[in-house]
Structures are given as C-alpha cells and as structure tokens.
Structure 1
Amino acid sequence: MPRKRYAEDLSVEELRLLLIEKQRARRQKRLEHFRRSGRLVVVDDHPTQPPLETLASRPLSEETPPATANPKHTRLDRLLLAIEILAVLGLAFVLLNGFTLIRDLNREVVAMINQPTLTPTPAITAIVLPGGHTPPNSPGGPRPNDAEIPEHLRPVMLSLPELPTPTPSVEQAIRIQIPAIKVDAPVVQGDGWEQLKKGVGQRLGTPNPGQRGNIVLSAHNDIFGEIFRDLDKLKPGDQVILYSNQRAYVYIVQQTQIVEPTRVEVMAPTQEPIVTLISCYPYMVDNQRIVVTARLQE
C-alpha cells in the first residue's frame, strides 16, 4: 500500500501540477452544470485541451494574462492627479499669502502704536485778542478797534461762529481779586464790547476755576473802570484769586508778556490749570496787548 503523501512532501513542480489539475476539475464541473441547465451551447464536443504537461510548462503568471489598462481610465487618472497637485499648490499659495498679510498687518499696528501722539490744532475761534479799542482821547472816543484785524482776515472774522452763553452754574467764576494791584471786580460770561462794560469778561468755551485748561479773562485798562490798568506791575509769585459760588481758587503769576493783537495762541487750551489775563497796552495808546499767565496753586 503506497504511503500517503502530504503537501510538504511534494516538490514545487508537483504542487503546481496539482493546482492546475484542481483548477481544470472545477472548470469542468462548472461547464457540466451550465450544460445541464441549458446556459451553455456546445459548439465542439471535443474541444482541444492542451495537455497537462503543456500547462505545467507555462509559468503561473502566464495562465491569467494581466488586464490591459483602459486608455480612458489612464487619462482620467492623470487629469485627477493634475487637479490634486494644482489644489495643493493653490492651498500652499493661500496659506503663504495669508501669513504675509498677517505679518504686514502686525507691522502696521506696531507702527501706529509707536507713532508720537499728535496734539490737535485748536479750531480758529478768534483773529485778534479780546478787548481791543481805540484810546478814549482819540477822535470819536473809544470804540471797538476793527483796524486791528488784518484786512485779508476780516471775512474770516465775520464767519466765525458765535458760541452760546453757558448755562449758569455754581462752578462758574463770579469774581476776581488781584491783591497786588488792588483789583476786585465781577466776572461775566463773554468778552465782547458790551460784556467788558460790566467787569472782567471770561472767554466763552474756557473752563471754570479749578479745572484743567486755560481760563481767559479780559478787561480794559483805560475805560469802563480801568480794571486791568496795572497788569504790568504784577510779578511772578503774585496771587490771582478766582471765586465761584462754591469756593476760591488761588493762581500764582508765572510771567508777563507784551504781544501783538494777533497773537491769539496765548488763548490756546492747555493741559494744566492756568488763567490768562489780557488787556490793551500801553495805557492810552492801546495798539498792543499785555498778557499775564498764572498757574493754579496746588
């Protein structure tokens, strides 16, 4: 009785022949099944079947020839690959552009932050300093001196808006005292011709006593009481006392200067609390202005 052989006992060639034989048996079985069911029409009852040795002599790779690639599928695959590559390149471009944009924005923000703080230029509210008038001994007597206004600025003077008179408040200045030159006078709102007939006029839009900013006060030196006649006698350290309905505020004189009537920058707003006193100068000539600046005493 021949010995039973196992798969590990067979050579490679024998295993190959055995595999081919099994494949042929399965194929024959399927063909018989198709014949019995009528699904197969027999053309040749004795089909030429290559001998087992011939099949065995073929390499396994030749038994099932590789499927030929469809040219249409190849072109489509190449097109899709090209689209994917373009999409990746586009995404890379968008990301790079986004990083560049963010970097530029950051630089602009840093540049804006590091810019020096600009001091706003105050709007033009006057062409000449207040209180200007002709001397009392001039022909026709004292009157507003329109000749002080440069001719080319007179249309601008007429177009300047009139500020409304502020609503009365307990914080407004109501009186001024300057002990060194014996001044004790009421303070009214406004520094026009009519207001300065009543006392010392506070320029509209300037702050109340004690507040941060430049309080501008004007009065005449040779008419309507000659309240500010002796401003030129004030020295640094002298007191200017402003009263409201609540309390008194003491300002200390810092400097005195003689300027042209067009030096309106002396009325510009300030960050520190000061008071600016203005009057015509010199006495009975009135072609300039005397300006005294005093700072709030802490």
Structure 2
Amino acid sequence: MSVRFVVRTFSELCVTVGTLIVLFVAYVLFWTGVKAADAAEGEIDTLHGQWGAREPVTPAPPPAPPPASGGASPSSSPSGSAEPPSSAAPAPYRAGKPFATMRIPRFGSGWEWPVLENTEVSTLRKGLGHYSGTARPGETGNFAVAGHRRTYGDPFKDFPELRPGDAVIVNDGATWFTYRVVKEPYRTVPGDTAVVDPVPRGSGFEEPGRYLTLTTCEPEWGSSHRLIAWAHLDATRPVSEGKPPEPAG
C-alpha cells in the first residue's frame, strides 16, 4: 500500500467527516428552527380556530389573591377576571396539545409561542411546555412552563435578559394574564423540582399566591444546569376588551 493511497484515503475521510459535521450543525442551528417555527405557527392557528368557535363566556371575577411576601407582590389585586366560574370545572388539558399563547415583550415585539401540555421532547419541539400537575394560568398555585434555550426555534435564547418588572403575558382564549418577573434568573441543577412547587423554593414567595415559573437550560449550549425565572400575577383582562399594554418591563 503506497503512502499516496493512504494520504488520499485519509483526506477523503476528513472531507466526508467535515461535510457531515457541517450538515449536522446546519440541521441543529437552522433546520430545527424552521421546523419549530412552522410547528408553533400551526399550533397557534389551531388555538385561534378553537377560540373562534367558542360561544362567548363572561367569566366570574376571581377572589383577591393573597399577597406574596418579600416585596414581590403588587400593591393591588389583579384586575379583571382570572378564573372560570367555580360551577364549571374546566376540562383537563390534552397531552401535547396547545391551550394558551405566551408573549414576553422583553424578547421582542414578534415573540409569541404556544403553550402545550407536558414537557415531553416531542412537545417542546412545537412550543413551550406546561409542567403537568402545576396550576393553570391565573389559578392559585404555580403555573410552570419550560422551553428550549437553543435549537427548535430558540424560544428562550434571551432568557438571561429577563429583569424584575418584565411582563409575561398569557392568553388562554378568554383572558389575558399579565405576570411580572420578580428577580433576575436563578441558576439551579436539573431535578430541582422545588422550583415548580405551589410556593416555589428560592423565589422569595412565602405564602400561597398566583405565580409563574419559567425554566430553560443552562449553559446556552448545554444542560448541566437550569435557569429559572419567577413571576406573580399582576393583572387580568378579558380578551373581549382587547390586548393589554405590553411594556418592555
């Protein structure tokens, strides 16, 4: 076997491996984003179709939530309505199906993603995932949501930019729920389930209330840790009254 043959074979192998690496990187950085954007848009279209087919409902005003300790709660109760009438038990969410949309003005005027039930891999490829068993939007408890930081549309790419006072606006088709972030993102390890408890540990909340927890991977291209952001319900507004204001925070 000649040296020339060995060198040529090795060079061809390097070119092949290099091409595969480039294709893989293009798939991760570009193609998963394209597929996620298409999937998310389809889920939002599905929601709008479902909401448009609903009969108009006038929700009952919710009871005033208990104040959160640590200075995280607003000085007044959320306005508008946040929960359906107690006489009508809501239908359970369907696994992998959308039930709300989320907007975070801090992430840009065009940032909007569907929120789907559960945090399975296949679900997070289509949008944000609701931790099953945690509260619904506006309910007393902890409405907890996960999302990719990188790949599949990078929904939480700018997660570290969240600041106290930033708005997180959730629409379930009947009500706009505006939550307010209470502190900069908190870093923890995977498996720390206390961060999605009804009164999440480390949040500064000490009493039951209406909370939101957002989670994503840390570092940006890894998953050795998690970034957590907590918020409290600040205001509600019936969808029939139009969109709420969306300040950058």
Gaps of 5+ in 2: 1-23, 30-90, 200-207, 236-249
Q: Which of 192, 206, 226 lines up with 1:263 in the alignment?
A: 192
Specify the code of the residue in structure 1 equivalent to 2:129: G
Query: Conserved in 1, the CA contact under 8 Å of 2:93 and 2:99?
Result: no
| Aligned counterpart, 2:227 | 290
- Name the CA shift for 1:173/1:210 in 2 (closer, same or farther; >3 Å): farther
The ranges of structure 1 where at least 4 consecutive aligned residues each deviate by more than 6 angstroms after the TM superposition are none
Deviations 1:246-269 (A, max 9, x none): 010000001220111122110111
Map residues 171-186 of structure 1 onto 2, 5 A cutoff. 173-182=99-108, 183-186=111-114
Greater Rg over alpha carbons, structure: 1
- Aligned to 1:207, what secondary structure does the other structure show? coil
Residue 201 (structure 1) aligns with: 129
Q: Deviations over 1:98-127 (max 9, x none)?
A: xxxxxxxxxxxxxxxxxxxxxxxxxxxxxx
Equivalence for 2:213: 276
TM-score by length of 1: 0.43
Kept after mapping to 2: 8 A contact 1:173/1:209: no
Say which SS state the counterpart of residue 226 (structure 2) adopts: strand
User: In the TM superposition, what are the counterparts of 1:131-280 in structure 2 within 5 Å?
Assistant: 166-167=92-93, 173-182=99-108, 183-255=111-183, 256-270=185-199, 271-280=208-217
Offset of residue 167 of structure 1: 4.2
Matches within 5 A, 1:90-169: 166-167=92-93
* Aligned residue pairs, count: 136
Contact (CA 8 Å) 2:164, 2:180: kept in 1 or not? yes
Q: For the residues of structure 2 that align with 1:167 and 1:206, how far apart are their CA atoms?
A: 12
SS at match of 2:182: strand
Query: What is the CA distance between 1:233 and its match in structure 2?
Result: 0.2
Letter in 1 for 2:115: V
Q: Percent identity?
A: 27
Give distance in 2, aligned partners of 1:166 and 1:196. 19
How much has 1:281 moved relative to structure 2? 1.0
Provide TM-score, normalisation by structure 2.
0.51
Is the CA contact (8 Å cut-off) linking 1:173 and 1:242 kept in structure 2? no
Bigger helix share? 1
Change in 2 beyond 3 A, CA 1:199/1:167: closer
Query: Cα deviation per residue 1:4-31 (whole Å; 9 max; x = unaligned)?
Result: xxxxxxxxxxxxxxxxxxxxxxxxxxxx
For 1:21-60, list aligned pairs within 5 A.
none
SS at match of 2:124: helix
Preserved CA contact (<8 Å) 2:181 2:231:
yes
Contact 1:280 1:288 in 2 (8 A): yes
How many angstroms apart in 2 are the aligned matches of 1:295 and 1:286? 26
| In structure 2, distance between residues paired with 1:245 and 1:232 | 29
Higher relative contact order (CA 8 A, sep 6+): 2
Aligned-residue CA RMSD (Å): 2.4
Distance of aligned partners of 1:167 and 1:285 in 2 relative to their CA distance in 1, 3 Å threshold: closer
Higher strand share: 2
